[in-house]
Chains A and B, each alone.
Chain A
Amino acid sequence: MFEAKLQQGGLLKKILESVKDLVVDGLWDCDGAAITLQGMDSSHVALVEMLLRAEAFEHYRCDRNVTLGMNHNHLSKILKCANNDDIVILKAADQNPDSCSLILESKNGEKTSDFVVSLVRIDTDQLGIPETEYSAHVKMSSGEFQRICRDLSQFGDAVQITCSKQDVKFSSSGETGKANITLTHSATVDKEEESVTVDLKEPVDLTFALRFLNLFTKATPISDTVTLSLSQEAPLVVEYKIGDSGHIRYFLAPKIQE
């Protein structure tokens, strides 16, 4: 038996909004400690990994490990019926379930809706993501990162991210010309969520497709801050913490010269 009760259904709505445009069908692996989701976009350029630990739930029970193949468009239809402060309960049998039940309860307990979502068969296993030493970590406001990605999309399809000393520069160019946005490591920190931290071991200079970064920023409502981890030989990691009980990490392969 798998059963998980989330007090604030809004969190599940936000998580789904942040993955559904990137990954159509995702593997939701449930064990005694957490729910993890992993999936790739159809072109295999980006990968998303979500972790939500048991402590995020008011009630969590998972007698045997179970994998739920979720079609995110179907799940999204159900969660559109939920208010942010509705309680959401997920239920599934623990041996090869072909469906998952979702129960929505209003805060005042006066309305209950229940749904059954058919599960889909996904023939891939979750990948082991290699441990990587990154050359640069940039922590910044998630809203600012969203703004930069959106603004630069007006100028080109790709963004060049350059980290050197205490700066991170985002550049894009196209027919209209060139745009550069530079953020400097904050000298003083009044509000952590508004400050910029650049932790650099080696300079990096990488180019990424803005289309994917704009999809990643759908996770902005989940956290006030975002961390970018960069290394010349590895995919970019864009991480949003889910409070103290999990994260959404997006991995994006850099572009290379044709």
Chain B
Amino acid sequence: DVNQNILSIFYNSI
């Protein structure tokens, strides 16, 4: 398993 970039998750959720 790998950690994700938190910014990409925030931007994808907008």
Contacts and interface: CB of A to CB of B under 8 A. Distances in A.
B4 A46 contact: no
Contacts of B6: 40, 44-47, 235, 251-253
Contacts, number: 49
Contacts of B12: 233
Interface string A26-53: 0000000000000010011111000000
Chain B interface size range:
10 to 19
A209 interface: yes
A159 B1 CA distance: 11
Interface residues of A, number: 24
B9 to A, nearest CB: 5
Nearest to B2: A258
A255 interface: yes
A46 B3 CA distance: 10
Contacts of A129: 10
B13 to A, nearest CB: 6
10 contacts: A129-B10, A130-B14, A132-B13, A209-B3, A234-B9, A234-B13, A235-B9, A253-B4, A254-B9, A255-B1
